[in-house]
Amino acid sequence: MQVKAFVVLLLEALGISTVLAAFSLEFIMLHDILLFGNFHAIENNMLTLTVELSLAAYGTTAKRLANKCARKPMSAQQNRWRKREQRNS
Protein backbone atom coordinates (compact mmCIF):
# COMPACT_ATOMS: atom_id res chain seq x y z
CA MET A 1 0.00 0.00 0.00
CA GLN A 2 2.86 2.37 0.73
CA VAL A 3 4.38 1.72 -2.69
CA LYS A 4 1.10 2.65 -4.37
CA ALA A 5 0.93 5.89 -2.40
CA PHE A 6 4.52 6.67 -3.36
CA VAL A 7 3.77 6.07 -7.04
CA VAL A 8 0.74 8.36 -6.87
CA LEU A 9 2.82 11.03 -5.13
CA LEU A 10 5.57 10.70 -7.72
CA LEU A 11 3.15 10.96 -10.64
CA GLU A 12 1.44 13.99 -9.10
CA ALA A 13 4.77 15.71 -8.37
CA LEU A 14 6.02 15.17 -11.92
CA GLY A 15 2.74 16.43 -13.35
CA ILE A 16 2.75 19.53 -11.16
CA SER A 17 6.40 20.31 -11.97
CA THR A 18 5.62 20.01 -15.68
CA VAL A 19 2.75 22.47 -15.36
CA LEU A 20 4.91 24.91 -13.36
CA ALA A 21 7.63 24.72 -16.02
CA ALA A 22 5.06 25.54 -18.69
CA PHE A 23 3.81 28.54 -16.71
CA SER A 24 7.34 29.86 -16.21
CA LEU A 25 8.03 29.55 -19.95
CA GLU A 26 4.81 31.43 -20.68
CA PHE A 27 5.90 34.18 -18.27
CA ILE A 28 9.28 34.48 -20.02
CA MET A 29 7.58 34.60 -23.43
CA LEU A 30 5.12 37.30 -22.35
CA HIS A 31 7.97 39.29 -20.81
CA ASP A 32 9.92 39.22 -24.08
CA ILE A 33 6.82 40.06 -26.12
CA LEU A 34 6.12 43.10 -23.92
CA LEU A 35 9.74 44.30 -24.11
CA PHE A 36 10.66 43.48 -27.72
CA GLY A 37 7.35 42.86 -29.47
CA ASN A 38 8.10 39.25 -30.39
CA PHE A 39 9.48 35.97 -29.07
CA HIS A 40 11.71 33.64 -31.02
CA ALA A 41 13.18 30.41 -29.66
CA ILE A 42 15.00 27.58 -31.40
CA GLU A 43 16.12 24.42 -29.62
CA ASN A 44 19.30 23.13 -31.26
CA ASN A 45 19.95 20.24 -28.86
CA MET A 46 17.90 17.22 -29.95
CA LEU A 47 18.20 15.55 -26.53
CA THR A 48 16.75 18.60 -24.79
CA LEU A 49 13.98 18.87 -27.37
CA THR A 50 13.12 15.19 -26.95
CA VAL A 51 13.02 15.49 -23.15
CA GLU A 52 10.84 18.60 -23.36
CA LEU A 53 8.39 16.94 -25.73
CA SER A 54 8.31 13.79 -23.60
CA LEU A 55 7.59 15.80 -20.46
CA ALA A 56 4.85 17.71 -22.26
CA ALA A 57 3.24 14.43 -23.35
CA TYR A 58 3.61 13.03 -19.85
CA GLY A 59 2.11 16.16 -18.30
CA THR A 60 -1.07 15.69 -20.29
CA THR A 61 -1.58 12.16 -18.95
CA ALA A 62 -0.14 12.43 -15.42
CA LYS A 63 -3.46 13.08 -13.71
CA ARG A 64 -5.12 10.13 -15.43
CA LEU A 65 -2.24 7.83 -14.43
CA ALA A 66 -2.34 9.05 -10.84
CA ASN A 67 -6.10 8.45 -10.66
CA LYS A 68 -5.69 4.89 -11.95
CA CYS A 69 -3.06 4.14 -9.32
CA ALA A 70 -5.11 5.73 -6.52
CA ARG A 71 -8.26 3.68 -7.05
CA LYS A 72 -9.09 1.57 -4.05
CA PRO A 73 -10.19 -2.01 -4.56
CA MET A 74 -13.78 -2.82 -3.65
CA SER A 75 -14.49 -4.45 -0.34
CA ALA A 76 -16.09 -7.88 -0.29
CA GLN A 77 -19.44 -6.33 0.66
CA GLN A 78 -19.31 -3.85 -2.23
CA ASN A 79 -18.37 -6.67 -4.61
CA ARG A 80 -21.36 -8.76 -3.46
CA TRP A 81 -23.71 -5.78 -3.95
CA ARG A 82 -22.34 -5.15 -7.43
CA LYS A 83 -22.80 -8.79 -8.45
CA ARG A 84 -26.34 -8.80 -7.02
CA GLU A 85 -27.21 -5.65 -8.99
CA GLN A 86 -25.84 -7.16 -12.20
CA ARG A 87 -27.93 -10.30 -11.74
CA ASN A 88 -31.10 -8.30 -11.07
CA SER A 89 -30.75 -6.04 -14.10
pLDDT digits (tens, 9 = 90+) for 52-83: 888 777 777 766 666 666 666 667 777 777 78
Q: Are 28 and 78 in contact (CB under 8 A)?
A: no
Taking the model in full, what pTM does it have?
Answer: 0.43
Q: What does the pLDDT read at residue 74?
A: 61
> CA-CA distance, 11 to 15, in Å (whole number)?
6
Q: Are 11 and 67 in contact (CB under 8 A)?
A: no
pLDDT tens track for 9-48: 777 787 777 778 888 888 888 888 899 888 887 878 898 8
